[in-house]
Structure 1
Amino acid sequence: MNIAYFGNGPRGVRCLNEVLEHGYRVCTVVGHSVNSDVVQKAACLRIPTYFPQKVNSPGFVARLQRFAPDMFVLSGYNQILHQPLIHMPPLGVLNLHGGKLPEYRGAAPINWQIIKGETLGGCCIILVDEGIDTGDIIEQASYEIAEDDTAGDIVAKQLDLFPPMLIRAIQGIESGSITRVKQDPDRGAYFIRRYPKDSRIHWSNMTAQEIHNLIRAMQGPSYPPAFSFYKGEKYSFHKSRMMREDIFGTTGRIALKRKEGVVVIAKDRGLLVSRVSLVESNDFVNPRYLLETGEDFE
């Protein structure tokens, strides 16, 4: 079997290793850039690599066709495939999707699951069709999202789940034994791409739980952290905790100092913030040493 592998990030590298360790032939690897981890890994293994700006361009489609791929695997790859790419491999196109379906179609499913307060997350492998994450589900798994789990924690959980899921999917397609679960097009939801500006904390409009969810949802590899402004300077937020005691006051106000950090008032109550950094610094610090009670976040 010839597999054309499209990948990026830790998931892309981990699953590429798994495919190769199980003896499958990867005829080419397609990544985001020459410096991406997946492209670098493939280059070390002397696998032909590509990083097209437009994956659906006629020139690249023709180049890929020359490899005569039997299957495509998409693992963390962020360009959307259209025709004729989708119908090129006779065994189909597998996409490793980081959210449960049909509830979390679209972009950034790991982050959105946490932002929306899910306590049970999911990931799945689908056969790509012409829609956005609407193809038949052939593998799926669920996992707990604890109250303080970050996006980085969920990435780690999925890194354990996806490799064996992918091998089962490939083997099932080879043997003709896969079970296809069709998605109801009238169910579920589609989530759009997130931008760095979306990580801003709005103290007057967000509850403590919503802010806590945003902070932990944006802690992970390459995610733009939650942020707010204090005395004109931009602070990134890296860790927070919901409090048992009720503390109320003016929204955005640094109300109290605790050993672990500071209490900042959200729309409904206080939230303990325990790790921040100035944007130009990589040093995470306890905010009790930087911030003054009675002052406000903007």
Structure 2
Amino acid sequence: MSDQVTPPLRIAFMGSPDIAVGVLDALIAAGHEIACVYSQPPRPSGRGKKLRPTPVHAFAEEKGLEVRTPKSLKKVPEQEAFSALKLDAAVVVAYGLILPQAILDAPRLGCLNMHASILPRWRGAAPIQRAIMAGDSETGVDAMMMEAGLDTGPVIASARTPITEDDTAGSLHDRLAELAAELAPRALAGLADGSLTPSAQTEEGMTYAAKLGPDDQRVDWTKPARQVDCQIRGLSPFPGAWCQWTPPGEEASIRLKLLMSRRSGRETSAPAGMVLDDNLLIACGDGGAVRILRLQKPGGKPMDADQFLRGQAIAPDTVLD
């Protein structure tokens, strides 16, 4: 099956963040007619709080495409405007708005969602981070036909990738973005010519990728080393896992943002959170340890641990909280 569709499909693209840009570019390259791009409204950003468009919005404007940024699709005028596009299909990638049934029903072939997990595992808002935090060995991208439930629709095609001990949410995001860009044209072509048939999800193995919050971020050193390592990598580079450290001679502690780690084979009876050597090996609750490889002080830049320690040593027997 070719990724090219003859004749090209008339589609709307609905997406907002970086992970969606490559998919839109791939659909343009495949020769589809992009009738309109939908994205989240521009939001204040930076010191001047200037309105900044989403990455998809900015890319679409560079390509000369019409962009719509409604705050909601629940009102009838927005639904009528969408229906008036006379679409063959809509492709959705991390758009960020709920699609009402009237929107889902408008395109001739339906709405195809590119979801960054192997469904039914990690339905929901933060599948990339949650997969690493849970210690999963594999993830991927599913092309799913959308329905009213949250990521419950039948899957038409998948692409998989291993999760390694070197992966962070950032590196995995970039790899999944490439997979999604490769998969979307192929899934759309298969949907159009009938060579790919949607397969219903089972509920067995279903997990929910809840939106990340403050409770996810603070490191609990009493947890097993594997869990601590997965938390640090799964939240890097954003929002970041953190712990507290009190520099020598200071009364107030500061927050250290931990951006990369690796489990050590060393076993220890030291208290959880204690620094075990001169290179940020930290004791965990199961007798294991995690080495911090990259971190950041408040107001500072992310640094590799050796660079950080040249400016400020964190001595053995220090206890991080």
1:32-52 deviation per Cα after TM superposition (whole angstroms, max 9, x unaligned): 233111101111222111222
Instruction: Return the offset for 1:197.
Output: 4.2
Amino acid at match of 1:163: A
1:249 aligned partner:
270
Q: Does 1:108 align with 2:126?
A: yes
Is residue 33 from structure 1 mapped to residue 48 from structure 2 by the alignment?
Answer: no
**Correspondences of 1:168-207 after superposition (within 5 Å):** 168-185=186-203, 187-204=205-222, 206-207=223-224
The root-mean-square deviation of aligned C-alpha atoms, in Å, is: 1.7
What is the CA deviation profile of residues 101-120 of structure 1, one whole-angstrom value per residue up to 9, with x for unaligned ones?
Answer: 11221121111111111112
* Shift >4 Å, 4+ stretches: none
Match of residue 5 from structure 2: none
| Residues 160-204 of structure 1: per-residue CA shift (max 9 Å, x gap) | 221221111111122122221111245522221112442111112
Aligned match of 1:214: 231
Q: Is the CA contact (8 Å cut-off) linking 1:119 and 1:147 kept in structure 2?
A: no
Looking at structure 1, the residues matched to 154 and 270 of structure 2 have their Cα atoms a distance apart, in angstroms, of: 50
In 2 relative to 1, CA 282–288 (structure 1 residues): closer, same or farther, beyond 3 Å?
closer
* Aligned counterparts of 1:98 and 1:152: Cα–Cα separation in 2: 13
What SS is found at the alignment partner of 1:122? strand
- Offset of residue 279 of structure 1: 2.7
Give the corresponding residue for 2:255: 234
Q: 2:284 pairs with 258, 266, 270, which one?
A: 266
Aligned residue in 2 for 1:224: 239
Q: In structure 2, what is the equivalent of residue 129 of structure 1? A: 147
**Which residue does 2:100 correspond to in 1?**
82
| Structure 2 counterpart of 1:296 | 319
Q: Could you tell me how far apart the structure 2 residues matched to 1:276 and 1:185 are?
A: 39
1:15 counterpart SS class: helix
Aligned with residue 52 of structure 1, among 61, 70, 79: 70
Q: 2:184 aligns with which of 161, 166, 175?
A: 166
Farther off after superposition, 164-173 or 94-103: 164-173
Q: Per-residue displacement from partner, 1:130-174 (whole Å, max 9, x unpaired)? A: 111110100112111112211222122212221221111111122
Q: 1:153 to 1:285 in 2, by over 3 A?
A: closer
Report if the CA contact (8 A) 2:22-2:178 is conserved: no
Residue pair 2:124, 2:210 contacting (<8 A) in 1 also? yes
Which residue pairs with 1:24 in the alignment?
32
Distance 1:240 1:160, change over 3 A: same
Stretches of structure 2 lacking an aligned partner (at least 5 in a row): 1-8, 43-52, 247-252
Give the Cα–Cα distance (whole angstroms) in 2 for the partners of residues 212 and 141 of structure 1. Answer: 26
Contact residue 145 and residue 156 of structure 2 kept, 8 A: yes
SS at match of 1:56: coil
Mapped to 2, the partners of 1:55 and 1:235 lie a distance apart of: 41
Deviations 1:13-68 (A, max 9, x none): 11111111111011111112331111011112221112222233333222222222
Quick one: which amino acid aligns to residue 143 of structure 1?
T
Secondary structure in structure 2 of the residue aligned to 1:214: helix
Paired residues, what number? 292
Does 180-189 or 125-134 show the bigger shift? Answer: 180-189
- TM-score, with structure 2 as normaliser: 0.86
Contact 1:128–1:136 at 8 Å: present in 2 too?
A: yes
Please name the residue that 2:156 is paired with.
Answer: 138
Q: In structure 1, the residue corresponding to 2:11 is in which secondary structure? A: strand
Amino acid aligned to 1:210: Q
Deviation at 1:246, TM superposition (A): 1.4
Unaligned runs of 5+ in 1: none
- Measure the CA separation in 2 of the matches of 1:185 and 1:275: 38
TM-score computed with the length of structure 1 as normaliser: 0.92
Residues 180-230 of structure 1: per-residue CA shift (max 9 Å, x gap)? 1111245522221112442111112x111111101111124xx20111111
The answer on whether the counterparts of 1:236 and 1:278 sit within 8 Å (CA) in structure 2 is yes
